[in-house]
Amino acid sequence: MSGRGAARLIVLATANRAKAVELEALLAAMPVRLALLEEAAGRRDIPEPFATFRENAAYKARRAAQLTGEWSLGEDSGLEVDALAGRPGVYSARLAGKGAPDERRIALLLRMLEGVPAERRTARFRCALALAAPEGLLGQWQGVCEGRIAERPRGERGFGFDPVFVAGGETRTNAELTAEEKNALSHRGMAMRQFAAELAGLIGRWG
């Protein structure tokens, strides 16, 4: 990941490189240096055992900080579909089974929504962030992007459910947006801007 001078090191508690690239882009102007968990502590798999994004993000941040002795940023995010009573939620990455490719998860989601009219295909992406030091949690943030599920995949950018998610006010899916356009409206972008607004103060307070 990034290698900026004497910047504060923050370990990203994720093995998802696409997600890590997004996080790094959103923190590009901040005085931080990012490393993936596997770069700081070898290959590790931190589980997501809780029923909420907030709890999972906090657990991942605390666990990564304990493993590395460094400040660590935990993130959990997913898709909530109203017609599916909020599913897949925290199980978004495992909707079609652990390790299933994005294409299989998208295909399953669309099958689950067969026959659901456009006005009932409302959904949202939700992101929870948590920053922890080895001593404990330093802060938590959340971002929500409202939208709807398209009837078929469109676009080649992004990852996860991006090809079928259309954010409010948009006609294009997230996968048809540029990285800059997506970051400006995405759930992760919202949460990261809140985090970035407080990060300098946290560094000044905790060193």
* Number of domains the chain contains: 1
Residue 1 in domain? no
- Which residues are designated catalytic? 76
Residue 3 in domain? no
DSSP structure class, residue 140: E
Residue 35 in domain? yes
- Per-residue pLDDT tens over the stretch 168-201: 999 999 999 999 999 999 999 999 999 988 988 8
Residue 195 in domain? yes
Contact (Cβ atoms closer than 8 angstroms) between residue 77 and residue 188 = yes
Q: Is cis: bond before 88, omega within 30 of 0?
A: yes
Residue 2 in domain? no
Residue 120 in domain? yes
pTM: 0.88
Phi then psi dihedrals of residue 165, to 5 deg = -105, 125
Residue 45 in domain? yes
> 47-55: which pairs have CB atoms within 8 A and are 24 or more residues apart?
48/76, 48/90, 50/90, 51/90, 52/90, 52/128, 53/77, 53/78, 53/89, 53/90, 53/126, 53/127, 53/128, 53/142, 54/128, 54/130, 54/140, 54/142
Residue 194 in domain? yes
Residue 89 lies in domain: 8-206
CATH code of 129's domain: 3.90.950.10
- Per-residue pLDDT tens over the stretch 74-129: 999 999 999 999 999 999 999 999 889 999 999 999 999 999 999 999 999 999 99
**Tokens linked to 74:** 């935990």
